[in-house]
Structures are given as structure tokens and as C-alpha cells.
Amino acid sequence: MLGIIRGVNPNASVAVAGCVAQQMGEKLWEKNSHVRLVLGSDGIVHAPHAFEKIAKNPKLRLSYLKFTKEFPDRKPELEFFRNIDSLPTGTAEESTKGNDTRAFVNIMQGCNNFCAYCIVPYTRGRQKSRSVASILEECREWIGRGICDLTLLGQNVNAYGKDSAGDNPHFVELLYETAKLQGLKRLHIVTPHPRDFCDRTVQAYKDLPVLAPRLHLPLQAGSDAVLEKMGRGYTQSDFLRLTEKLKNARPDIALSTDLIVGFPGETEEDFQETLKVMKEADFIASFSFIYSDRPGTRASKMTDKIPANVSLDRLNRLMELQNELGEKWLKSRVGMNTEVLLEAKSARPKYSEVTDSDLDIETVKNAASAAEENSEATSWQGHDTWGNTVNLLIPNRFACKAGDIVPVKIITAKKHSLLGELTEKQA
């Protein structure tokens, strides 16, 4: 990528930030003379001042690689992006193409878990929780800018506060405080660790309607032997008990997950346990990967590696099952009334390309044809409460804009998305 950038613009000055920058550090300068700025995980907050410095001195190179003991102050970073947002953006049509409807709020950085396969503690440092006041301040700022969908973000988000020696409240208390914010419509958390998911957090999903009924809960593997080798700190039965509690507390909740196949020592029997849990938990989606070594991790030193062809075969079988589960989930949405957060104008949806559904197909086709023929309508894409992508046509008389939440009836399911129509309530 660095070479491509140099080929496109030999005079470009490049900044490299995040985990790769943290891991490689100033070695990035050895073969990349156009790299002027290296920002480690805790160094990103220095970007605004660093950009100013290198702009004034064409020969200057800077690196910010040290980990901080506390969560770094994000005010300079937020002010920088605030200034960028205030720059002229061109035509109104161009400004609708961006996604200014959702925001992510970092509540912590780093991780203390040291899972056998994971490099995060080495590249992002130990866990550092941010103050509640700072978190709520940023949330209010986003809401004040018209954003009503927020995600509280952390590598192990539900371990928030455990590093602060009593200075910060429990993660659950942060959830309840955030849920009180006026103007907040949807609240998400990413990414919780199953081991740290306590009953109080489960109860929050029952108590707080603003908590979106979509939860990403990383399983990684279904076999107890593999989970122990990974250092995950829970068993298959622990995980399934948690999913059962969540579904009892919030019957409409939908779960997605992370999965690794081909972890060192994984047998076919171990892999079958992963497929078993996928079915029992009924995951609507998953981020699935073949295990690969990360330098310096415990797993990279394990000798019982799985052949690449075996791992690929397992990944293909896993994805086949996941596609079935995902398709079943999307079809179950057909006929439902829901709310869609509009995000951007899109290509006109082809309503007539319906799949099997619980609705009468002819009724759907008739309604769809009428919508398609309506030239006085604009095509929009957005997400429903569960995070499903929804496409729909909206009559121009409603003057909708990105960030609006509209009532929609789902009329058909496609492979990875849904098609809907505005309900009578709005139309």
C-alpha cells in the first residue's frame, strides 16, 4: 500500500497509524522515505499537532510510540476532526454520500487478556479505561450534531473500569448513564468478552430499550480443549448458558460472533463442536478466519499447526453453515414492521426481484412494481434495529435526510440485505 501511494503521488507525505505502526515503529522509515509520521496506538491523539509540525518542516519525521498509563486525552483529536467537518464539502448532493448517522465512542484502549493467538496487548498495550465524564461528553457532542446511533467501543468493552482501582464505575453503570442521554435512539457495545459478561449486563438488555437487540459475542471456537488452549477463560457450556440468559432477557436479540478455524491442535471433532455451537446459538452472522501466526504470541510457538488445505476446508464448511443461518434470519424478517435509520441515498432497489417469503408473492410484486414505477421517489439505504441493511424507496414529498428514522415494513429478503417499503403510518 505504501508503494502504491508513492506511485500515485511521489511527493505525498504519509502517516502510518495504529497496530502496524506500533509493531514496526521507526523501521517503517528504512524503506519508505515518504513516511513522515508514525503513530502508535496511544500516539494517534497527537496527530493534529504532528500534522502541523511536519507541514512546516519538509524534512521532519516524527514518531509517537510510547504507551500511556492512562487513557489519552482525546480533546485535541476531536477538535481536529471538528475543524475538518467544518470545511466546505462541495454540493449538497455530494454531502449525502457520506455516512454521518452513526458514531463510535472509545471507552477504553488495550487489553489484559493475552489470548494465545492475539497480538493486541502487545500493539495496543494494557487496558486503560476512560473517565465516565469524558465518555458522556463525547456522546453528547455526537448527539448534538444530529447523530442518534452510538457504539461504545473497546477491545474488551465489558471489562471497562476494572483497571481503574475504583475510580470508574462498573461497565453496567456506564450503560445506564449513557442510556439516559436525550436524543439517543440506539446504543451498541463492541466487543464484549463472554467471560466478563455478568448477569447485570444481561439485565441491562431487558431494562434498556435503547440497547440495540444485536450483540456481537465472540466465541472463537466451540471445543473446550481449543478454548482452553486459546486461553479464553470459558467453556462451551458457559457460552451457551450466556446466550440462553440473553435470549430470555431480550427475546428479540440476535447474536453474531467471531470464529477461528485451524487453531493449532484443532481436530475434526473439535471443529464439529464449533458447528454445533453455531447452530445452538443461532448466529445470524460471523467473522470467520483461518488461524495465522502473530509474532510473539503463545500460539505462534505451538508446533501442532494444521495443514492449510484442512483449515480451508473447515472454513468453507463453516461459511456454508453460516450462510444458511444468515439466510434463515433474513427471511424471518419478512412481513415485520421495523424502524430504519436512513444513512445514504442509493441505487434504486429492484423490488421485483423477490425471493420466497412469508408474504403472498403476487402482493409483494404488485406493491414493488408500483414503487419502482414511482419516479417521484428517492432510493435510500439504511439499517434496522438489528443492523440489517435495508433498501427502500421514499416518496420525495417526505423530504427525508440521512439520520432520520422511518417506519418500514420488510417485504422481501435478498442474500445479504432486505427490501422494505414505507408503512401507512408514514406514507
- pLDDT, tens digit, for every residue of 207-260? 999 999 999 999 999 999 999 999 999 999 999 999 999 999 999 999 999 999
The secondary structure of the chain in percent helix, strand, coil, rounded to multiples of 5, reads: 40, 20, 40
| All three cell numbers of 183 | 436524543
Q: 8 or 323: which carries more pLDDT confidence?
A: 323
Helix axes 171-179, 199-207, angle to 10 degrees: 10
For 339, the 3-state DSSP assignment is strand
| All three cell numbers of 207 | 431494562
Cα-based torsion angle of the residue sequence 123, 127, 133, 138 in order, rounded to the nearest 10 degrees: 30
Burial of 263 (0-12, 13-18, 19+ CB in 10 A): buried
Locus of grid cell 450503560? 175
Return d(Cα 58, Cα 15) in angstroms, integer.
14
Read off the pTM.
0.83
Answer yes or no: are the C-beta atoms of 345 and 96 closer than 8 Å.
yes
Give per-residue pLDDT as tens, 254-305: 999 999 999 999 999 999 999 999 999 999 999 999 999 998 999 999 999 9
Region of 109 (left: φ > 0; alpha: ψ -120 to 50; beta: rest) is: beta
Contacts of 380 (CB under 8 A, 6+ apart): 342, 343, 344, 345, 346, 391, 392, 393, 394, 400
Give per-residue pLDDT as tens, 291-350: 999 989 999 999 999 999 999 999 999 999 999 999 999 999 999 999 999 999 987 666
Answer yes or no: are the C-beta atoms of 176 and 204 closer than 8 Å.
yes
**Residue ranges of domains in the chain:** 2-64, 75-332, 337-422
Q: What average pLDDT does this structure show over 159-176?
A: 86
Return d(Cα 7, Cα 131) in angstroms, integer.
43
- Could you give the angle at the alpha carbon of 236 between the alpha carbons of 231 and 242, nearest 5°? 105
Burial 225-247 (b: 16+ CB within 10 A, else e): ebbebbebebebeebbebbebbb
Q: Determine which of 45-54, 222-231, 388-397, 402-411 has the lowest per-residue pLDDT on average.
A: 45-54
Answer yes or no: are the C-beta atoms of 312 and 290 closer than 8 Å.
yes
The string of DSSP codes covering 311-330 is HHHHHHHHHHHHHHHHHHHH
Return d(Cα 312, Cα 219) in angstroms, integer.
19
Return the closest-CA partner of residue 186 out of 218, 217, 152, 145. 152
Answer yes or no: are the C-beta atoms of 123 and 295 closer than 8 Å.
no
Give per-residue pLDDT as tens, 140-149: 999 999 999 9
Return d(Cα 38, Cα 252) in angstroms, integer.
44
Q: Which CATH number applies to 75-332?
A: 3.80.30.20
Cα-based torsion angle of the residue sequence 268, 270, 274, 277 in order, rounded to the nearest 10 degrees: 130
The DSSP letter of residue 336 is -
Residue 390 pLDDT > 90: yes
Q: 74 or 22: which carries more pLDDT confidence?
A: 22
Length of the chain equals: 427
Give per-residue pLDDT as tens, 67-111: 676 666 655 555 555 554 444 433 333 333 335 799 999 999 899
Answer yes or no: are the C-beta atoms of 382 and 342 closer than 8 Å.
yes
